[in-house]
Amino acid sequence: MSATTAAVPFWRAAGMTYVGYSRLCASMVRSCLKEPYKSEAAEVEKVHYSRSKWSDGKQAKPTICEDDK
Which residues of the shown chain bind other proteins in the complex (CB under 8 A)? 1-3, 5, 7-9, 12, 17-20, 22-23, 26-27, 43-54, 56-57, 59, 62, 64-65, 68
Query: To the nearest whole angstrom, how small is the minimum distance from the Cβ of residue 36 to other proteins?
Result: 18
Query: To the nearest whole angstrom, how small is the minimum distance from the Cβ of residue 9 to other proteins?
Result: 8
Other Cβ atoms closer than 10 A to 16: 15
Contact 42, 54 (CB under 8 A): no
What residue type is assigned to position 19 of the chain? V
Note the maximum CA span of the chain. 50
Query: To the nearest whole angstrom, how small is the minimum distance from the Cβ of residue 27 to other proteins?
Result: 8
